[in-house]
């Protein structure tokens, strides 16, 4: 974070500064800001966020011992550390992020990119951060820091030397993206897709589309909207963008795209295509598995071009990315038994894309094995969406369908009903039972996909299988 005095921070937050030890109101702090006391270091700021399972106020002492110079609290804690008492710690975190980014922006050349979409946010963020990091200091979220805590924590990592801030915006309800993106008003607003992920929490896919469009509304009016023209709901956001005076850049595989991919091919060693932009045609070879990542790459290239990076440079840098992120199409195992651990998250769209990738990368003499868990947050559509994935797995001729957990049992029943008989589809109530089956069932030539929503935790099963066959 940029250097601020305790008094300045208290003023920004509208809080009550309580001094302790040798600190004065003019004491400067410039360390990281976080809600996790384990992340604290010298000069850092600990935000004591109350939670459903624990209360951050219990860890103020641990934060002080780790070097924290300030605690932002909702009530005074009996610890020898300066404290700023606020009404709401999460709101205070957002207020501090807004102020710090505004000061850096006013003093220098900071450019801000916001990314949202039902799928692909983290991969696109990582792709773009890789491209921009060669241009100057780039701040981007760790993992999927895209909520009311993670997004401001990331923003607060900017300094006066930061040239690019890449923010990832998730949404758990209408208004979430508007609130988070409104903290920084991005120069570039990237919308990837509108899908069924979290649709249960929004009341349907049209409400989801409206929520994603909040990023375009929150961007600067002189900025650029980077939109997926292959998704008609995203493409329709161009009208909103132009009505605000923004420029629009479209990406995708259709002829309407400004940044376009064609000749897409997926193999076990990566994904290739030809990128066409501004009259140039440049081959791209991604080490990341899956045709669906081509769209994420195009989005990153498009955003980078808006920020002044050439297509050739963007492509060259993307080709160095080995994996999108841990637990996202992550290759594990060995050449005999290859595990693809893609169980950090799952939606109907990403589940279908992962199954298609599994079918595409498996050779004629190899066997496809899909280890599948539940997709969460689908609301009243959950049953039919699990049915659809079960049907798709059978129609793609996935040779072993291993369903794990009671929440995914309907997927198993659907596969059986579609014709996956004679032990082609099996069900296990938990990960341990599935692991015991797989450790003896898997054989040379197997290509294994592990896929579920994060809350189901099959990523840990994928790690176990990867270690077993390493």
| Sign of the C-alpha dihedral computed for residues 59, 61, 64 and 69 taken in this order | positive
> Known binder of ligand: residue 120?
yes
Question: Which token pair is 458?
Answer: 């099959």
Claim to verify: residue 335 and residue 314 sit in the same structural domain: no
**Are residues 32 and 8 in contact, defined by beta-carbon separation less than 8 angstroms?**
no
> Known binder of ligand: residue 121?
yes
* Domain annotation covers residue 131: yes
**Residue 258's pLDDT is what?**
97
* Domain annotation covers residue 120: yes
Query: Tell me: the pLDDT tens digits for 427-468?
Result: 999 999 999 999 999 999 999 999 999 889 999 999 999 999
Domain containing 289 — which CATH number? 3.40.1190.10
Cβ atoms within 10 Å, residue 148: 17
The total number of residues shown for the chain amounts to 470
Claim to verify: residue 215 and residue 284 sit in the same structural domain: yes
**Mean pLDDT over residues 67-79, rounded?**
97
Task: Return the SS3 of 125.
Answer: helix
Q: Which domain holds residue 410?
A: 330-468
Claim to verify: residue 216 and residue 252 sit in the same structural domain: yes
Q: H/E element holding 197?
A: none
* Domain annotation covers residue 103: no
Distance of alpha carbon 185 from alpha carbon 396, whole angstroms: 43
**Residue 326's pLDDT is what?**
80
For the ranges 145-159, 193-207, 231-245, 393-407, which has the lowest average pLDDT? 193-207
Claim to verify: residue 189 and residue 260 sit in the same structural domain: yes
Give the closest residue to 414 by CA, choosing from 453, 445, 386, 381: 386
Angle at 172 between CA 207 and CA 379, to 5 degrees: 65
* Domain annotation covers residue 243: yes
Q: How many domains does the structure of the chain reveal?
A: 3
Task: Return the SS3 of 325.
Answer: strand
Q: How far is CA 247 from the centre of its chain?
A: 25
Claim to verify: residue 257 and residue 117 sit in the same structural domain: yes
Query: Over 60: is that where the pLDDT of 201 sits?
Result: no
Distance of alpha carbon 46 from alpha carbon 107, whole angstroms: 26
**Residue 335's pLDDT is what?**
86
> Known binder of ligand: residue 117?
yes
Give the closest residue to 88 by CA, choosing from 62, 50, 54, 59: 50
Claim to verify: residue 291 and residue 146 sit in the same structural domain: yes
Distance of alpha carbon 446 from alpha carbon 366, whole angstroms: 6
DSSP 22: T
CA distances from 436 to 205, 371, 439, 451, 462 (A): 39, 13, 5, 18, 13
- Per DSSP, what are the bridge partners of residue 265? 272
Query: Tell me: the pLDDT tens digits for 128-150?
Result: 999 999 999 999 998 778 899 99
Domain containing 25 — which CATH number? 3.40.1390.10
Distance of alpha carbon 443 from alpha carbon 435, whole angstroms: 14
Claim to verify: residue 178 and residue 55 sit in the same structural domain: no
* Domain annotation covers residue 282: yes
Q: What is the DSSP string of 18-78?
A: E--TT--TT-EE-S-EES-GGG--TT-EEE--B-SS-BGGGGHHHHHHTT-SEEEESS--S
Give the closest residue to 148 by CA, choosing from 199, 186, 91: 91
Residue where one domain finishes, among candidates 270, 294, 318: 318
Q: Sheet containing 33-34: which strands, arranged edge to edge? A: 16-18, 83-85, 70-73, 45-47, 33-34
Residue where one domain finishes, among candidates 318, 346, 371: 318
Query: Over 80: is that where the pLDDT of 233 sits?
Result: yes
Cβ atoms within 10 Å, residue 433: 13
Claim to verify: residue 230 and residue 290 sit in the same structural domain: yes
**Residue 328's pLDDT is what?**
82
**Are residues 219 and 187 in contact, defined by beta-carbon separation less than 8 angstroms?**
yes
Claim to verify: residue 182 and residue 206 sit in the same structural domain: yes
Claim to verify: residue 263 and residue 403 sit in the same structural domain: no
**Residue 346's pLDDT is what?**
87
* Domain annotation covers residue 280: yes
* Domain annotation covers residue 92: no
Claim to verify: residue 461 and residue 389 sit in the same structural domain: yes
Alpha carbon distance, N-terminus to C-terminus of the chain: 41
**Extended strands (E) in 232-349:** 247-252, 259-267, 270-277, 280-286, 330-333, 337-341
Claim to verify: residue 177 and residue 224 sit in the same structural domain: yes
Domain containing 380 — which CATH number? 3.90.190.20
* Domain annotation covers residue 242: yes
Q: What is the dihedral of CA 225, 264, 316, 122, to 10 degrees?
A: 50
Query: Tell me: the pLDDT tens digits for 280-337?
Result: 999 999 999 889 899 999 999 999 999 999 999 999 999 999 887 788 889 999 989 9
> Known binder of ligand: residue 126?
no
pTM of the model: 0.88
**Are residues 138 and 132 in contact, defined by beta-carbon separation less than 8 angstroms?**
yes
Q: What is the DSSP string of 245-262?
A: T-EEEEEESSTT-SEEEE
Question: Which token pair is 200?
Answer: 């249960």
Query: Tell me: the pLDDT tens digits for 373-400?
Result: 999 888 888 999 999 999 999 999 999 9
Of all residues in the chain, what percent carry a pLDDT higher than 70? 98
Q: Which residue has the tokens 């002044």?
A: 308
Residue where one domain finishes, among candidates 296, 318, 340: 318
DSSP 50: B
**Residue 410's pLDDT is what?**
95
Task: Provide Rg for the chain, Cα atoms.
Answer: 24
């Amino acid at each position: 974070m940029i250097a601020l005095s305790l008094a300045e921070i208290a003023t920004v937050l509208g809080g009550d500064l309580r001094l302790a030890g040798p600190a004065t109101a003019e004491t400067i702090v410039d360390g990281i800001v976080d809600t996790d006391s384990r992340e604290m270091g010298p000069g850092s700021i600990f935000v004591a966020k109350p939670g459903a399972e624990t209360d951050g106020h219990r860890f103020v002492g641990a934060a002080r011992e780790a070097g924290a110079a300030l605690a932002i609290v909702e009530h005074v804690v009996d610890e020898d550390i300066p404290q700023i008492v606020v009404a709401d710690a999460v709101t205070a975190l957002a207020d501090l992020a807004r102020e710090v980014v505004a000061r850096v922006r006013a003093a220098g050349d900071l450019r801000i990119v916001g990314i949202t979409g039902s799928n692909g946010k983290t991969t696109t963020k990582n792709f773009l951060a890789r491209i921009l990091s060669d241009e100057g200091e780039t701040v981007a979220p760790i993992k999927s820091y895209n909520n009311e805590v993670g997004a401001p924590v990331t923003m607060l990592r900017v300094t006066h030397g930061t040239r690019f801030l890449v923010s990832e915006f998730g949404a758990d309800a209408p208004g979430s993206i508007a609130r988070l993106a409104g903290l920084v008003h991005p120069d570039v607003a990237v919308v990837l897709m509108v899908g069924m992920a979290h649709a249960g929490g929004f009341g349907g896919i049209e409400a989801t589309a409206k929520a994603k469009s909040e990023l375009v509304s929150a961007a600067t009016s002189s900025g650029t909207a980077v939109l997926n023209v292959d998704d008609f709901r995203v493409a329709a956001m161009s009208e909103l963008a132009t009505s605000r005076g923004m420029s629009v850049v479209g990406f995708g595989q259709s002829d309407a795209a400004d940044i376009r991919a064609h000749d897409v091919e997926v193999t076990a060693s990566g994904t290739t295509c030809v990128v066409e932009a501004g009259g140039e045609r440049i081959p791209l070879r991604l080490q990341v598995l899956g045709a669906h990542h081509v769209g994420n790459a195009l989005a990153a290239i498009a955003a980078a071009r808006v920020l002044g990076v050439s297509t050739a440079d963007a492509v060259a840098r993307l080709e160095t990315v080995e994996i999108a992120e841990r637990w996202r199409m992550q290759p594990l195992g060995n050449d005999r038994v290859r595990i693809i651990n893609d169980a950090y998250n799952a939606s109907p769209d990403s589940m279908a894309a992962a199954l298609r990738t599994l079918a595409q990368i498996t050779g004629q003499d190899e066997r496809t094995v899909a280890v599948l868990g539940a997709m969460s947050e689908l609301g009243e559509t959950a049953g039919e969406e699990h049915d659809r994935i079960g049907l798709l797995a059978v129609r793609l001729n996935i040779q072993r369908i291993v369903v794990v957990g009671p929440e995914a049992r309907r997927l198993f029943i659907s596969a059986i009903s579609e014709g996956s008989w004679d032990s082609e589809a099996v069900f296990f109530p938990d990960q341990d039972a599935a692991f015991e089956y797989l450790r003896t069932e898997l054989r040379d030539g197997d290509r294994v996909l592990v896929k579920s929503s994060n809350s189901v935790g099959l990523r840990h099963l994928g790690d176990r299988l990867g270690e077993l066959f390493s």
